[in-house]
Every structure is written in C-alpha cells, then in structure tokens.
Structure 1
Amino acid sequence: MAIQVSTEILEGSVLALLTKKDYYGYAITREIKKIFPISESTMYPILRRLKNEDWLSTYDEAFEGRNRRYYQITDLGREQLVKIKNNWQELKAATDAILEGNNEK
C-alpha cells in the first residue's frame, strides 16, 4: 500500500478489532499488520494514546511465566469508534467524488 494510513484510521481499526474480543499488544499489531503495513513501534504509541483517552482499558494475565497486557474497548471507545466510522464515510465519499470525477455541483 503506497498511501500512508492516518493515525485516526489506525485508531479506528484497533477499536473495531477490540469490539470482537480482547487482545494483547503484540496480537493487536499482528492483526492490524494483516491489513496495513505497520510496525510495533507504530502500534504501541497508538495503544497508549487510546488508553490515555479512556477509549481502552487494560488488564494483565499470566502467560508462560510472564504477564501479557490485554486491551479492552470501553464505552467511550465505542462512542469514538462511531465518530471515526462517520468521519471515514464522509472522507471516503468526498475522495471518491473527486477521484471519480463526480465532484461538480
């Protein structure tokens, strides 16, 4: 993918992923990488920001002698996801109109 993915799209993707089940950090990165070319160094600041905004909460679970930090979407996160989806639809419609030559009024 040659077009850079915006932070808001990545945030929305993480929130959407977490509506299905809780994931630990590396698993989130792995799932998002299936769609977008991103790195762990890109994903962890996004996870911190989402948590700081109270859109995600975390909890730890033991796994093979270590703790894994799991992320869970909050009610505020679900509200933010709706906003991101709405913003995406507006941007997509506007971009499609320009790229397809249907932007005349």
Structure 2
Amino acid sequence: MDIQLKRGLLDVCVLAAIKNEDSYGYKIIKDMKPYIELSESTLYTILKRLETAGMLTVKTAEHNGRLRKYYHITAAGLRRIEDFKEDWTEIEAIYRFVTKEDKGNE
C-alpha cells in the first residue's frame, strides 16, 4: 500500500479511537487491535503528528502512582474524520473504476 495513503488512514483510525472518549496509548492500541495491528512506536509517532497538527490535545494525569498521557480529540480532529468519510465515497468510486474490467471478464 502506498505509504502516504496508509499514513492518512492510520491517522484517521487513531482519531476514531479517541472520538467518543479520551484515551491513552495502550488502550488505543487495544481498541484498534480487532481492526488493525499497530505498534507502540508507530502509535506514538502518529499521536505526536496529530498533536502538532492541532487534531488532539494531551493532558497528563496520575494513574496508580504513575503519570499517564490522555489524548483528547479537538474540533479539527473531528473535522478530519468527517473529511475522511467524504473522501471515502471518492475512493470507492475509484475502486469500482479500477476493478470494472474484472467484472466484465466473468
């Protein structure tokens, strides 16, 4: 898969994982696991990129005597998810175009 396309898809997946509630790294990976495998190093690179882009904010809170970073989606992050949904319609149309001759040869 094209690396830029995959990068964009993973960004949206991480945003979707925190869309309904703030979350932390391990939980994000766990929530995404049924759909996609993601390493910790990849996740934290994505989270940093999304934070820099203003799509999420980070707060640190103590949990069981340790500091844990919690991630919160921003309005820009929610817009990115909505943009992805709109883009997906175009991606599906492109897929149908690319595979149309497969159906004609049956």
Q: TM-score range by the shorter chain?
A: 0.7 to 0.9
Task: Identify the residue that residue 44 of structure 1 maps to in structure 2.
Answer: 44
Between 1:93-102 and 1:40-49, the stretch displaced more is 93-102
The structure whose Rg is larger is 2
For 2:86, the aligned partner's letter is N
Q: Once the two structures are superposed, what CA deviation does each residue of 1:16-58 show, in whole Å capped at 9, x if it has no partner?
A: 2212111101111221222112211111100100000000001
Aligned alpha-carbon RMSD (Å) = 2.4
Q: Distance in 1 between matches of 2:86 and 2:40?
A: 27
Q: Size of the alignment, in residue pairs?
A: 102
Identity between Structure 1 and Structure 2 (%): 32
Task: Identify the residue that residue 54 of structure 1 maps to in structure 2.
Answer: 54
Confirm or deny: 8 A CA contact 1:12 1:85 kept in the other structure. no
Q: Distance in 1 between matches of 2:44 and 2:77?
A: 17
Greater helix share, 1 or 2? 2
Q: Please give the TM-score of this superposition, normalised by the length of structure 1.
A: 0.83
Q: Distance in 1 between matches of 2:96 and 2:31?
A: 27
Residue 101 of structure 1 deviates from its aligned partner by: 3.2
Task: Identify the residue that residue 101 of structure 1 maps to in structure 2.
Answer: 101
Residue 97 of structure 1 deviates from its aligned partner by: 3.1
Residue 99 of structure 1 deviates from its aligned partner by: 2.1
Confirm or deny: 8 A CA contact 1:22 1:70 kept in the other structure. yes
In the alignment, structure 1 residue 66 sits paired with structure 2 residue 66: yes
3-state SS in 2 of match to 1:71: strand
Between 1:67-76 and 1:3-12, the stretch displaced more is 3-12
Confirm or deny: 8 A CA contact 1:55 1:73 kept in the other structure. yes
